[in-house]
Amino acid sequence: YSVTVDPNRSGAAIDDTMYGVFFEDINRAADGGLYAELVQNRSFEYSTADNNGYTPLTAWKTNGTAKVVDDDGRLHARNRNYLSLAAGASATNSGYGTGYTLKKGEAYDFSVWARGDSEVTATLGDADGALATPRKIRTRGGWAQYRATFTPSQDTTTGRLTVATTKDTALDMVSLFPRDTYKGRKNGLRKDLAEKVADLKPGFVRFPGGCLVNTGSMKGYDEASGYERKRSYQWKDTVGPVEQRATNANFWGYNQSYGLGYYEYFQFAEDVGAMPLPVVPALVTGCGQNKATDDDALLKRHIQDTLDLIEFANGPTSTKWGKLRAEMGHPKPFHLTHLEVGNEENLPNEFFARFKQFRAAIEAEHPDVTIISNSGPDDSGTTFDTAWKLNKDAKVDMVDEHYYNSTRWFLQNNERYDSYDRQGPKVFLGEYASLGNQWSNAMSEAAYMTGLERNADVVKLASYAPLFARTDTVQWKPDMIWFNDQKSWGSADYEVQKLFMRNVGDRVVPSSATATPSTLEPITGAVGLSTWATSAAYDDVKVTGADGKTLLSDDFSGDAAQWTGTGSGSWSVQDGQYVQSDAAAENTLVTAGDPSWQNYDLHVKATKKSGK
């Protein structure tokens, strides 16, 4: 095989922003992850609406008379619940895992809102006892915030915080933050995780999702009743003082505190030297919910919210939202240049009717902002074709494509963008990954990225997804960066992303090859197949090879799901065909009737015998 490079010809320019990251609060990427707050459920707002197993006291253990109260005595209309401790009672929080990971000699900032004349004692300890001198705080009168600092005398991985009172007291927003956050920001980010992102040198940060943007109710939080509880991600919920940010049920099955909100996302993008790229909901739900909201007033409100978002990011401090940005600590603008409307919309016509209204309003006030549309959830099929046609007809600037595929697919589709219309919309490849975190997956992505780069005149932005996964709360894999309370590590895919992001060229040097990555070398090793399944909702799952042949199927009869049918242990690829070699072995997928969505991986061994 040979590769011919022509250094005398000049190809497309490659933008510095070409490779970036996509942050979504999935796999506990925010609370319990990047957001450095150590206290879980600090405002006692957890509810069964977030997760069936939650109560307002999740992550807390109480002693004595301690109850969560939702009444007019609350701290704020957007923060419903508070903890009422009777004299002598206490409550202990142990974070997201088995306890806080704390370092000897480092400062940890404790704060609490309290109402009532009392003495509150805050104790930082672990299984072996106190880690620092308990702090005694005199509280007086109405709601006020009190602070103290702890410096642990020992390292621990089982730290916990206890608050106790001498008289009846109301408490809320019980918080413990490491002083040593990324760039030392208040209400900041966990340093090792933020540094891993910064090390990539990303060109952009897309946030805040993903499915959590365009699912749930499009209505706003109702201060009178505390509802809507399952809201789409609405940026105004996430700015201002943290104790006034109404928490929400996250699409991924837990509560999101919004402590990491739009201000913090913008600040993070700036801190890592990346372009901020927010995504707003378009009043059509995707991600399986597939519902268009027909409420003109609500649509108008969301369009105005989007204009206000641009003002929050870029507006002078004399404007309402620019002023809020300044009050939060950033008088200078955040330089928003790109904004996406909608995420993975399955109803292309309904989405487009609304997208066009967003676009008209934004263009009228901010003609310099690039507005990104999307092509739905798939990389093929009717929805995708319809969405692309609508995007082209409407002369959209840029279209967000998403796909998660096998290593084989990535190797076989290196030329995908060679044939894209040069006159049509540009592409933002907003989410992609080869299905696994093995070297073979990372290599197939690297090979594929050469195809993105070769087409840098069409593919303007690209981000692997998802970015983070906390090992004890995984809703989706593969993921780029993994972590637990103690440490974090990049996957092989992370290393590939780093290689490309840190070495963005100026221009493509035209080259040609006598073969594509899929035909160059024999493939050996495991081929990862993956499906989302819930035995409650899935019938007839089928896994099909790239050649269209059924590899495995299942009718999911009964409660426990199983891979059966033609499914058997070992598959090989001969002359590009999947061949079943061991009829005796069985691949079994048992979901045991679990009604929640889980991601199941199936690894099929494929050995390519002949080298076509």
DSSP 456: T
Give the nearest distance from C-beta 351 to ligand AHR in angstroms. Answer: 14
Judged by CB, which is closer to ligand AHR: 203, or 377? 377
278 contacts 336 by C-beta, under 8 angstroms: yes
> Distance (Å, rounded) from C-alpha 568 to C-alpha 580?
7
Judged by CB, which is closer to ligand AHR: 358, or 432? 432
Judged by CB, which is closer to ligand AHR: 226, or 466? 466
Give the Å distances, CA to CA, from 499 to 449, 461, 492. 11, 16, 11
Which residues, including other chains, have CB under 8 Å from residue 85's CB and lie 6 or more apart? 64, 65, 66, 91, 163, 164, 165, 168, 169, 170, 171
Give the nearest distance from C-beta 355 to ligand AHR in angstroms. Answer: 16
Site residues (vs ligand AHR, CB under 6 A): 24, 26, 209-211, 343-344, 377, 402, 431, 465-466, 476
The SS3 of residue 159 is strand
Degrees (nearest 5) of the Cα angle 259, 279, 204?
Answer: 85
Side chain identity, residue 243: E
Judged by CB, which is closer to ligand AHR: 318, or 380? 380
Give the Å distances, CA to CA, from 180 to 185, 222, 247, 261, 292. 8, 36, 25, 19, 44
Residue 512 neighbours by CB distance under 10 Å: 9
29 contacts 213 by C-beta, under 8 angstroms: no
Residue 332 neighbours by CB distance under 10 Å: 10
Give the Å distances, CA to CA, from 268 to 13, 195, 277, 317. 27, 11, 12, 20
The SS3 of residue 392 is helix
Judged by CB, which is closer to ligand AHR: 85, or 467? 467
Give the nearest distance from C-beta 297 to ligand AHR in angstroms. Answer: 28
Residue 520 neighbours by CB distance under 10 Å: 14
Q: Which of 344, 345, 431, 445 is catalytic?
A: 344
Angle between helices 492-501 and 439-454 (to 10 degrees): 20
Judged by CB, which is closer to ligand AHR: 25, or 311? 25
Two tokens, residue 424:
């049509």
Side chain identity, residue 331: P
Residue showing the smallest CB distance to ligand AHR in the complex:
210
Residue 15 neighbours by CB distance under 10 Å: 16
344 catalytic per annotation: yes
50 contacts 250 by C-beta, under 8 angstroms: yes
**Closest alpha carbon to 426 in 5, 95, 15:** 15
> Distance (Å, rounded) from C-alpha 202 to C-alpha 276?
10
514 burial via Cβ count (<10 Å: 0-12, 13-18, 19+): exposed
The SS3 of residue 123 is strand
**Closest alpha carbon to 436 in 208, 600, 212:** 600
Give the nearest distance from C-beta 398 to ligand AHR in angstroms. Answer: 16
Residue 380 neighbours by CB distance under 10 Å: 8
Give the nearest distance from C-beta 225 to ligand AHR in angstroms. Answer: 29
Judged by CB, which is closer to ligand AHR: 28, or 78? 28
Give the nearest distance from C-beta 329 to ligand AHR in angstroms. Answer: 29
Two tokens, residue 69:
């109260």
Give the nearest distance from C-beta 281 to ligand AHR in angstroms. Answer: 12
Two tokens, residue 234:
């609405």
Judged by CB, which is closer to ligand AHR: 79, or 346? 346
Judged by CB, which is closer to ligand AHR: 188, or 466? 466
> Distance (Å, rounded) from C-alpha 193 to C-alpha 199?
10
Strand partners for 144: 114
Judged by CB, which is closer to ligand AHR: 210, or 322? 210
Two tokens, residue 39:
């206290």
E strands of 6-117, at which residues? 19-22, 60-63, 66-69, 82-85, 90-93, 100-102, 108-115
Give the nearest distance from C-beta 579 to ligand AHR in angstroms. Answer: 32
> Distance (Å, rounded) from C-alpha 225 to C-alpha 222?
6
Give the nearest distance from C-beta 9 to ligand AHR in angstroms. Answer: 37
Judged by CB, which is closer to ligand AHR: 150, or 254? 254
First-to-last alpha carbon distance for the chain, in angstroms, is: 12
Residues involved in catalysis: 344
